[in-house]
Structure formats: structure tokens, C-alpha cells
A and B are shown apart, each in its own frame.
Chain A
């Protein structure tokens, strides 16, 4: 850093501050709005209160929506990682006929606008006569999220040297042993980020839920409904809480990864001492 001209450095700092402000100010404003006592979205906030948070936390409707959102997110994350793991191996590891077409096909849903894709899934489910509920939302979101998880894991697979697996097999490992002892642990960082990514994308996803959840309501749907008809500061309150839940998921993920690393290191030290 020392060889950067002072003016350049100052400009870089200004740019950094501006970027932070532009990105995070809206969230801050939302948080502020949720603390206003007044029913309306007016600045400056004249009186602060926790009233809307109390209302939010005691609302059965919101509790129901949060539970549904959470279940959907966990289901989507688990299923999409399972699909994405094998998908990423096909995408990046093995050379097979039709691999190129498979790569394009996997990417396709990401290029569609989500609203269009959501509508398409809804029409399709209607045609098939599948009843709409959060079950169908899991399916709908998977169409969009599983390809993204596949890409995230594929990046890890591209960096993975197949010679590791060959070496394990050569040393007498069965396919399953090589997968369990070598491939899975080495691809683990990718699988884990794929899982976190899917969880967060599903948690905040609105378009698919809107088209496919039927009578069930997720948090983003609830926010949308309230914004259209019947704004109260509960909207920014739920929004802020929703951001917090996302942040907790992310931090929780990192905490688990960190803990696993520490435990492994401690175990290694323990065997070394013996």
C-alpha cells in the first residue's frame, strides 16, 4: 500500500465509503423506519418505539410465514445441494458425450427472469393438476436455485485433481471409499458454500413463492402483500428481522466451518501428543 500516491489512496477511500453508503444506507433506513411510532413512512422519525417489533413477534400470521419460509429454505438447500453435487461432477469432473449440452442446459434457468420462470412453473403445475402449497414452492425454487448451487460446487470440482481419486483407487479403495475419504472432504468447501448460498437465496426469494405457494405465505410474500395494501411499520420490522435471520444463517455457517476446523486441528494435536 505504501507505494500508492496519497491522492490515489484518498480517492480509493472515498470510493469505498460511497459504495458502502449506497449499499447499506437503504437497509439502515428500513431499520429506522421500523422503529418509528407513527403508522406512516415519514422522515425524520419523530418518536421511536419497539411497538412494531412487539406486534411482529406476537403475530401468529408472521410466525406461520417464518416457519414456512424456514422449512422451504432448508428443504431447498438440502435438495439442491444433493442435486448440485452430482450435477457438478457431471458438469466439471467427467468427460462424457453430451457434457457440453448439459452445461448449457443447466445454465438456462438462470438466464430466465424469475417472474417468467415462476409463472411457467405455476402453469405447468396447474396442467399437471398438482395442488399449490409450500411443497410446490420448494420445487419451483429448485428450478432456479439448484443450477446456481451446481455452479458454486462446479468451481470447486474444476480445481479438483482427479488424480487424487485415481490414487485412492490404485491404493485399493473401492468407489465408495474413495468418494467418502477423498472426493467429499476435498470438495467440502464448495458443497458447504453451495448449501449456504441455496439457503439464503431461498429465504429471500419472492417470485417463485408468489406463483407457486397457493394459500401458504412466506415472509417475502407477506412483505409484498402488506406493501401493496395496508402498510404499517411492521413491514420494515419484518424486513429488518428477515435480514437479521439471513445474517445469522451466514454467521452460523461460518461458525460451523470454523468449529469443524478447530476440532480437526485439536484432534490432530491430540494424536501427535500421544
Chain B
């Protein structure tokens, strides 16, 4: 049985619909991430999940039992706040022990368990007596995780706790968090606006848009088979073309009038108009690209961005700019100013049915 289930959950603020008929279920021991741009309703979602807000309609079930009206302090779940909300007048130990103190656990036992959770969160035991205000950013994250674990929650919620951390430390903490989740076997529900964060840590991801779930799936499913233009764009930079059907196996680019070859089943049945999307890493580029490409665009490289192991090229063709991504090692001598042909294999494009603006 699912540990947490949402059935047709709505949340209205006056006339504003923050969460719109959301249903989903989260399995025991899963690392589940809710990802979406700001204003997509993900913060409202987590506030309802932890019990700080009540849904307007629908049900939230914990192991099959409705918990809509159970306040946060009576729920067996715990949250790591965006601001972390570590109690600044307490030591690291005082913070970690706080939930046990509220339950009336005797002091020596509290201390013993707090020290255990410090080590689980990769903090030295000597930090027990350190004032929490003297900890660095990364240490504070670990204290917050230890404090939440010490509550022994059925589910741990995270509200973008890593958003204020610099890139390198964030990468380290993402891995640590995933390790802690595996080691403890707890169910983690994580909220973020960052696709990268979601991809690295999650078993499954729910993408939210305007209060609704746009897609749920494993990171790979969502990256490889997005179900809408929105998801494909949100999951990374893409090249988009507004298209209309022409004849079987071919679409026409609305802006240039150019024919684009697609796989026979690429466009949904009854397709009238929509968007064709190709990821930069699926693009072909060269002085002459091989035959069998979906279409050939002639252009000139106008920009080059080195992304560590990969290189991204910006190619201007007519009025439009396209992104092409290559592994550096296999790169030819093309650089800024070179005239190139770009295109893609018909199988690498995805077509989404949606009204053209």
C-alpha cells in the first residue's frame, strides 16, 4: 500500500486556485520529488502534506487513513524547512534533541540518540555542544537533517533546503541526502524548482504546472519521454518548431514553410497543430550532415559555450537561433563563424499537440 496518497486535492486561496485536483501516491521508502517553476503550487502542496494548511477539497491519506485535519504536531511526519529554521538560541545537540524533549525522553537517552543522528548526518560528535549559529552553511543543512531524523518520522519532507547553497557544496549534499535516504530506508518527499536536483536524487518525479501535475515518472522517463512541451522545456533546453501536418510522415514548419520528416506515429491522431521539440544533444551538425536527417538547416555558429565535458553551440539559421550540444572529444574544427548544416534524425524529435500562439 502507498504510504501517502492524495485524492483529488484542491487548495483555493479566495479565488486563486493554488492546487487543482491533484491525485498521486507515494510508495514506502521512495525518494519522491515534486518539481515545478515558482507559482506552480508546490509550496502549497508541501504545506498541506505536513499539516500547516488544510486542503479545500479532497483527501490526504497516510497509510490509508485520512489526515486532512490532523495538525502538524500530531502527524508522524517532519519537514526540513527552506530556511532550515534551526533554533538559533540552542546548540546543535539542543536542536537535534528538541523533538525528544517534547516527548519527555530523559536527558541521557536524548543525548545518546542525538549523537547517533549526528553521525548519520555526517557531523562529528563534538558538534553536540556547538552553538548552531557558529555552524557553516553545509553543517547547518546536516543539523537540520539530523533534527528531522531524530523525530523518527514516517515521511521526511524537504522544502528546497539546498536552494541557498553554492553549486559545489550542493552537489555534495545532494549525494549525501540520497545516501542517508538509502541507509535509513525512510520515505523522502522533496520539493524543488531545480530539475538537476530532482534528477540526481529522485526515484520518481512529479512535475507541477499551474497547480496541476503535468507528469509523474522516473527521472529517465521524464527526460526521455516528456508528455508535453512544458515538461520537455522544463527538463532542459530544447529546440522548438511550430508545426502543422502536411502529409503522412511529414510536417511543415509554420515559420519557414520547410518540410520536416517525422516517424509515422510521431504526431498524435487528429493532429492539427503543435510543437516539435529536439534536444540539443540529439542535434546533428557538420559541414554536411548525413542523408536521412529530418531536415537540413543551413546556418552559422554564432556562439560557443563550454560546459565542462560538453560544448554547446548556438547556430543562427535565418532569423532563428538553435542549440547544438556535442561531446568535446569528438568535435571537428568548427568554431564561431563556421558555416554549418544542422538537423536531426526523425526518431529524435517529439511532437506535442497544442494550440499555436
Q: Which residues of A contact B (CB under 8 A)?
A: 161, 163-164, 166-174, 177, 181-182, 185-186, 268, 271-272
Contacts and interface: CB of A to CB of B under 8 A. Distances in A.
A166 B98 contact: no
A173 B104 CA distance: 11
Interface in B55-87: 71-73, 78-79, 81-83, 85, 87
Interface size class of B (residues with CB under 8 A): 20 to 34
A229 to B, nearest CB: 54
B85 A164 contact: yes
Given A186-B88, A271-B129, A171 B102 contact: yes
Contacts of B73: 169-174
B72 A170 contact: yes
A163 B73 CA distance: 14
| Among A167, A168, A177, residue most surrounded by chain B Cβ atoms (within 10 Å) | A167
Which secondary structure characterizes the binding site on chain A? helix
| Among B51, B87, B151, residue most surrounded by chain A Cβ atoms (within 10 Å) | B87
Nearest to B150: A171
A163 B89 CA distance: 14
Contacts of B85: 161, 163-164, 166-167
A169 B52 CA distance: 9
Contact of B81 (A166, A177, A271): A166
A123 to B, nearest CB: 45
A257 to B, nearest CB: 14
Contacts of A166: 52, 72, 81, 85
B129 A268 contact: yes
Contacts of A268: 91, 129, 131
A186 B81 CA distance: 18
Given A161-B83, A163-B83, A268-B129, A168 B98 contact: yes
23 contacts: A161-B83, A161-B85, A163-B85, A166-B81, A167-B79, A167-B87, A168-B98, A169-B71, A169-B72, A169-B73, A170-B50, A170-B52, A171-B78, A171-B102, A171-B147, A172-B99, A172-B102, A172-B103, A173-B102, A181-B101, A182-B87, A268-B129, A272-B129
Contacts of B102: 168, 171-174, 177
Interface string B93-136: 00000110111000000000000000000000000010100000
Contact of B98 (A163, A181, A186): A181
Interface in B6-61: 50-52
| Among A163, A172, A186, A271, residue most surrounded by chain B Cβ atoms (within 10 Å) | A172
A163 to B, nearest CB: 4
Nearest to A185: B89
A225 to B, nearest CB: 48
A245 B269 CA distance: 90
Interface string B149-180: 00100000000000000000000000000000
A112 B98 CA distance: 47
Given A181-B98, A271-B129, A164 B72 contact: no
Contacts of B81: 163, 166-167
A84 B89 CA distance: 23
Contact of B89 (A170, A172, A186): A186
A171 B51 CA distance: 12
Contact of B79 (A170, A186, A272): A170
Contacts of A186: 87-89
Nearest to A269: B129
A34 to B, nearest CB: 45
Contacts of B151: 171-172
A49 to B, nearest CB: 53
A162 B81 CA distance: 11
A177 B99 CA distance: 11
A173 B98 CA distance: 9
Nearest to A264: B89
Given A166-B85, A170-B72, 20 more contacts: A163-B82, A167-B79, A167-B85, A168-B87, A170-B52, A170-B73, A170-B79, A171-B99, A171-B102, A171-B151, A172-B99, A172-B103, A173-B73, A174-B73, A174-B102, A177-B102, A182-B87, A185-B89, A186-B87, A272-B129
Contact of A171 (B89, B98, B131): B98
| Among A161, A163, A171, A174, residue most surrounded by chain B Cβ atoms (within 10 Å) | A171
A99 to B, nearest CB: 17
A21 B129 CA distance: 49
Question: Which A-B residue pairs are the 4 nearest by beta carbons?
Answer: A167-B85, A171-B99, A272-B129, A163-B85
Contacts of A170: 50-52, 72-73, 78-79
Nearest to A186: B89
Contacts of B129: 268, 271-272
Nearest to A175: B73
Nearest to B71: A169
Contacts of B52: 166, 170
Contacts of A272: 129
| Among B73, B103, B129, B151, residue most surrounded by chain A Cβ atoms (within 10 Å) | B73
A174 B104 CA distance: 12
A9 to B, nearest CB: 36
Contacts of A185: 89
